A and B are shown apart, each in its own frame.
Chain A
Amino acid sequence: MLNIEIAAEKLFSFMGLPITNGLLTSWIVVILLVVASYILSRNIRKVPKMFQNIVESGVEELVGMMQGVLHSRKKAEKFFPLIATIFTFVLISNWLGIFPGVGSVGFNEVSEGVTKFVPLTRSAAADLNFTLAIALISVVMVNIYAIRELGAKIHFGKFFNFKGPIEFFVGILEILGEFAKVISFSFRLFGNVFAGEVLLIIMGALAPFLAPIPFLMLEIFVGFIQALVFSMLTLVFLSIAVEHEAH
């Protein structure tokens, strides 16, 4: 019997903090990226080699895409750390989630007389805490950037508008919109990745050899697309927020 849990499974507790398999994967991703960026920074050269070349192409591509949305290279470089971190974190988490061993290596736990398999790791985005955290960061950072660009009065004037009943109602809708963004952000990514995990588990259980390969390919693609969608939506919201009142 396949055991599919929506919530990330708790492995152990450390000083009151429940360590789940989703959090563990998230830490692994952070460590991998920190080590990779440290290696990159130590070996950065004017004439780039293999690794630097790949990173530079990715950075140039992303900055170019952002420049297309923001119509300014300067702004693109300013917002780049937020967008690029969201993209990289989500992408590597998604791709790490389909690595062999992730979700399949674990231990059996007996709970209330029922033995269930607890994987040591699980795709980080298949844990709602991860997607919700990034969604919150995204929305909060959009608001912070908007305040920095336009000023608190203009920015909050968008939410609390007392010029008339229609404007007031629009302001309330704007506030609701911010919460909706968090929910849509987090559940879109969580839903896609969790569904992909479930699909792979089911395919692996039904036909363990060869059959899951196309689905693995699909998950690589979905992982990339979801990372891109998350970061690009953040960018679009950011672009609207910092230019909204400027017109």
Chain B
Amino acid sequence: MSDLLNHLGVDWKLLLAQVVNFAILAFVLGKFAYKPILGMLKKRSDDIEEGLRASEESKERLSKTKIIEEERILAADKKALSMVQAAETTAKVRGEAIMEDSKKKSEGMVESAHKSIEQERGRMAEEVGKEASMFVRMGLEKVIGKMDFNERDNALIAEALKEMKSASTHK
């Protein structure tokens, strides 16, 4: 057995040296290669998983946000429509009230204008009457002294009429 081992070159010292070689290699590779590489692979795998999870979450959140957004838009549309409708109704009511008010005001104004016209007309007629009588009196005063009674009366009347006519023409 010993001869066979010697013939094959087996030497316990060399065997031990090779064991030490392997131990050194296992230690160094474990520390500098396997640990960092396996750690990096795990970290990368975790990062990818985390990324995928985050992406899924984002997608879910986005779809939820879209739903909420659509719901809000719909609600806003409804609200806007109801506001517009309310505004229209209010505007209609207020328009009618304003129209009614304006109508009343304009009627009042027309009525007061009529009244003031009537008053003015009355005042003017009165003044015209006053002026006419004054002119008649003035004409009479001029003519009366010159004529006999009958002739004077006729002439006065004609004169008075003529004066009145001319007074009204001057006026």
Which residues of A come within 8 Å of B, CB atoms? 5-8, 16-18, 20, 22-23, 26-27, 30, 33-34, 36-38, 40-41, 44, 46, 48, 52, 55-56, 59-60, 63, 77, 80-82, 84-85, 88-89, 127-130, 132-134, 136-137
* CB-contact partner of A33 in B11, B29, B36, B37, under 8 A: B29
> Are B28 and A34 neighbours in the complex by a CB distance under 8 Å?
yes
A80 touches B22 (CB 8 A): no
Given known contacts A7-B9, A81-B26, A134 and B40 CB-to-CB distance under 8 angstroms: no
A-contacting 9-mer, from B13-21, B75-83, B93-101, B163-171? B13-21
Chain A residues, CB < 8 A from B121: none
Residues of B within 8 A of A82 (CB): 26
Which of A5, A34, A46: most chain B Cβ within 10 A?
A34
- A residues near B32, Cβ cutoff 8 Å: 34, 37-38, 40-41
A81 touches B34 (CB 8 A): yes
Nearest chain A CB to B128 CB, angstrom units: 114
Asked if A56 and B40 sit within 8 Å, CB to CB, the answer is yes
Partner-A contacts on B (CB < 8 A): 7-11, 13-19, 21-22, 24-26, 28-34, 36-38, 40-41, 43-44, 47
Nearest B residue to A141, CB-CB: B26
Question: A85, B9: Cβ atoms under 8 Å?
Answer: no
- Give chain B residues whose Cβ lies under 8 Å from the Cβ of A30: 21, 24-25
Is B8's CB under 8 angstroms from A33's CB?
Answer: no
Given A44-B40, A128-B10, A133-B21, 15 more pairs with CB closer than 8 A: A27-B21, A33-B29, A34-B24, A41-B32, A48-B40, A52-B37, A56-B37, A63-B41, A77-B38, A81-B30, A127-B14, A129-B9, A129-B17, A132-B10, A133-B22
A-B pairs with CB below 8 Å: how many? 120
Q: Is the interface of B mostly helix, strand, loop or mixed?
A: helix
Docked pose: A137 CA to B47 CA in angstroms:
37
List, sorted by A's number, 13 A–B pairs whose CB atoms are closer than 8 Å.
A6-B7, A17-B13, A22-B14, A23-B17, A27-B21, A33-B25, A41-B33, A46-B47, A56-B37, A85-B30, A127-B9, A129-B14, A129-B17
Instruction: Please give, as numbers and ranges, the residues of chain A lying within 8 Å of B25 by CB-CB distance.
Output: 30, 33-34, 85, 88-89
Distance in angstroms from A221 CB to nearest chain B CB is 24
B18, B24, B30, B38: the one within 8 Å of A130 (CB)? B18
Which residue of chain A has the shortest Cβ distance to B20 in the bound complex?
A133
Asked whether, in the complex, the Cβ of B11 is within 8 Å of the Cβ of A129, the reply is: yes
> CB within 8 A of A18: which of B11, B33, B47?
B11
Distance between Cα atoms of A34 and B24 in the complex (Å):
9
Do the beta carbons of B9 and A137 come within 8 Å of each other?
Answer: no
A79 smallest CB distance to B (angstroms): 11
The reply to whether B18 and A44 form a contact with Cβ atoms under 8 Å apart is no
Cβ-closest 10 pairs across A and B: A7-B9, A133-B18, A41-B32, A37-B32, A129-B14, A37-B33, A85-B26, A81-B30, A133-B19, A34-B28
Chain B residues with CB below 8 A from A130, complex form = 18
B6 → chain A, closest Cβ, in Å? Answer: 8
Determine if A59 and B18 form an interchain contact, defined as CB atoms under 8 angstroms apart. Answer: no
Which single member of A17, A46, A80, A85 contacts B17 (CB below 8 Å)? A17
Complex Cα spacing A8 to B38, Å: 37
Q: Who on chain B is nearest to A45 by CB?
A: B40
Whole-angstrom CA separation of A46 from B39 in the bound complex: 10
Q: Which of B10, B14, B25 has the most CB of A within 10 A?
A: B14
Nearest chain A residue, comparing its CB with the CB of B9: A7
Q: Which residue of A lies closest to B14 (CB)?
A: A129
Q: CA of A52 to CA of B56 in the docked complex: distance in angstroms?
A: 30
Residues of A within 8 A of B19 (CB): 133, 136-137
